[in-house]
Amino acid sequence: MSILPTTTGGAVQREFRPRLAWATIVVVAVFLTLLARLFQLQIIRGDELKGKADENYVKELRVPADRGQILDRNHQVLVDSRPSFNVTLTPFYCGKQCGEIVARLASLLSLAPEEVERATSQLTGARKLERFRPFTVKVDVKREELDVLEANAMDLPGVDVQPMPHRSYRYGAMGGHLIGYTNEVGPDELRRLNDELAHGGRPQGPYLLGDYTGRSGLEKRFERELRGVDGKRRIAVDAKGREKEGEFIADENRFVPARPGRNLVLSLDWRLQTLAEKSFPAVAGVVLAMDAKTGFLLALVDRPAPDPNKMSGRISAAELAKIHDDPLQPELFRAIQQHYHPGSTFKAVTSIAALEEGFYRPDTVVNCPGHFNMGSARWRCDKEAGHGAVDFTHALGASCDVFYYQAGAQMGADLIAKWGRKLGLGAPTGFDVGGEVPGVIPDVAWHDARIPGGYQKGMAVNLAIGQGDVNVTPMQQLVLYGALATGIIWKPQVVRRVEDVDGKVLQEFAPQERGRLDLKPSTRETVLKGLLAAVNQPYGTAYYLRLPDLQMAGKTGTAQVVKMGARRLRADQVAYFERDHAWFAVFAPAEDPQIVVVVLNEHSGFGSTNAAPTAVELVKAYFRLKAKDEAERAAPAGEAPVAPPRASPPPATPGRGERPRLGALAPRRVEDRG
């Protein structure tokens, strides 16, 4: 038996030691890798992964914030939120049954095809964490539908009924264009809205599918202020999304209250607004009233307008198409988004141009034989027999066309356009609710660029009486006559303050001047005498509407829509869209103006009979309400003030509010341009 030499054992030991070292290194490396991974999962991504894990058993429900209210100047609520319920679906909790759940909801809730299509699309697009986020299937469900859902709750995994404040427009279409409406955010809008929100400086959460946003009017313009800050409620749920009783969630994580949006306080007096609506006989048109001292609006009627309550829901494609196809264009905000020939109301501008440029003097007299000739062309006056010898006061008061035809022929388009622009026409007024158009004040260059054959001298003749290619918006007319009344070209405004829910003023808006009239005193005096005569002299076009105890100054206008025919016809003998537009602009008291009113009654005929009565009723109501408010403020506490005398009711107008018959076009005609 042989014995191995000891040197062999030493070699084995030397060979084993490196292997042991490598094994140790591998073990340490694996341990460090595990440690690093554990650090990454628990420390670096701990909150993220915990959130994902929590979403498997904790459902986070939004507590939607009430949108801010819209109030009139006396804090009468015009728009607020009412309780309602939306039906939502969370894709994760319905799993592979989601398609069946949508079909079942379609049957139980009588979903419209577009609602089913929207829900299916959102299911298909739900990825990763989006599967845990509920989306809205139906908004504002009825009470009986809630009962049906409650009875079938066990068979509808992932379906929830969420309390949701729904916008309530208390007066329907009244003031609808100004106030605007809200509706759902579309998928394509989310990024844009959330990008804007990120730069907005308010702690509002991101918009999600199913959220509402302002679409028009004040709702859109003041979206950031009106939108509140949502809260949240967290509940423990099982695998199907049903709430589990007795599960512990820390109190500090269970509920975060919502914060309501801010309130808008308007300058409108809703008492005046209501009277304007009732006294306005138009199918389509605008009534505007403005505080002459500040430029803030007191009333704004814009007709027709869709009901914002309808527009703020999920309106069907058929209903929306009906609104789009309506020839009266109810979606058009006429006060700022449509312009019209101003007719004889523009003669105040021509008067100023003629006086300031030296073509007429305050004592100028022109003979009116009932027509004006230039070459082979003849323009007729509104009074076929003619007005005879007329000065400025008579010409403006009686609305003599020949007086202004001659002025236009002498001055040309450029000088008339120059003064139109100085008076604020041809540019937006700054009423920043959205979509304001600038109107058109055409000069020679404008005609040369747009009219075949370019500018012709006769174009200035038409321009001088507010016809031809001159166009203004009702809001521009309001600003113009406000400037004639006070010398100040105001920026019209309608929001006085932004307040919090407790009435604390967060932002207040001051009157804003855009400019001042720079006129010779004799020019201003001459024009004002003519505007006074229109209402207070027997030959004035609005003389029959004068008031015994209040002196008004104003101007009627009957703006031609189609070319004059060979014979005169009454408005009721002409198809609706062929009738002239009726204008009336007035301010009072003439010696110290406090209120300016402009009325446009589309396709109705004479300004003196179809626009002026509404304006005068509004002026009377303004001073009656002002006296009433002052009496109430002056009365001792607990003592009833003496009521001021009531103004006479507006004259009855047959067919008020009826929609026109859109039949064949009737023969064209000529009517009074004043």
Residue 18: pLDDT above 90?
no
Note whether 472 and 506 are within 8 A (CB): no
In this structure, the chain runs to a length of: 674
Band of the pLDDT at 605, cuts 50, 70, 90? confident
Give the pLDDT score at 162: 83
By the 10 Å C-beta count (0-12 exposed, 13-18 middle, 19+ buried), 110 is classed as exposed
Give the pLDDT score at 41: 60
Architecture of domain 84-164: 2-Layer Sandwich (3.30)
Percent of the chain with pLDDT over 70: 84
Who has greater pLDDT, 651 or 98? 98
DSSP 384-435: TT--EEE-HHHHHHHT-HHHHHHHHHHH-HHHHHHHHHHTTTTS----TTS-
Number of other residues whose CB lies within 10 A of the CB of residue 379: 21
CA 242 to chain centroid, in Å, comes to 43
For the four alpha carbons of 469, 474, 475 and 481, in that order, the dihedral sign comes to: positive
Q: In the chain, where are the structural domains located? A: 51-82+167-266, 84-164, 270-634
Single pTM value for the model: 0.83
The average pLDDT across 429-448 equals: 95
**Average of per-residue pLDDT values in the chain:** 85
DSSP 433-475: TS-----B---HHHHHHHSTT---THHHHHHHTT-TT-BB-HH
Give the pLDDT score at 61: 74
Cα 465 to Cα 662: distance, rounded to the nearest angstrom = 29
Note whether 301 and 334 are within 8 A (CB): no
- Which residues, other chains included, contact 671 with Cβ-Cβ below 8 Å and sequence gap of 6+? 382, 558, 568, 569, 571, 580, 605, 606
Architecture of domain 51-82+167-266: Alpha-Beta Complex (3.90)
Q: Are strands 70-71 and 263-266 parallel, antiparallel or unpaired?
A: parallel
Give the pLDDT score at 150: 86
Band of the pLDDT at 573, cuts 50, 70, 90? low
> Per residue in 222-264, pLDDT tens?
999 999 998 887 777 766 566 666 556 666 667 888 899 999 9
User: Furthest-apart CA pair in the chain: how many Å?
Assistant: 158
Q: Are strands 595-601 and 581-588 parallel, antiparallel or unpaired?
A: antiparallel
**Residues linked to residue 61 through DSSP beta bridges, in sequence order:** 233
Cα 156 to Cα 435: distance, rounded to the nearest angstrom = 45
> Per residue in 490-535, pLDDT tens?
999 999 999 999 999 999 999 999 999 999 999 999 999 999 999 9
Helix, strand, coil percentages, rounded to 5, for the chain: 40, 20, 40
Among 50-54, 141-145, 157-161, 397-401, top mean pLDDT goes to 397-401
> Per residue in 326-376, pLDDT tens?
999 999 999 999 999 999 999 999 999 999 999 999 999 999 999 999 999
- CATH number (3.40.50.300, 1.10.3720.10, 3.40.710.10, 3.40.50.720) of 270-634 reads 3.40.710.10
218's tokens? 């004040």
> Per residue in 167-226, pLDDT tens?
999 999 999 999 999 988 877 788 888 888 877 667 788 888 778 899 999 999 999 999
Band of the pLDDT at 95, cuts 50, 70, 90? confident
Among 122-126, 139-143, 559-563, top mean pLDDT goes to 139-143
Cα 634 to Cα 408: distance, rounded to the nearest angstrom = 53
Among 24-38, 61-75, 280-294, 600-614, top mean pLDDT goes to 280-294
Cα R_g (the chain), whole angstroms: 36
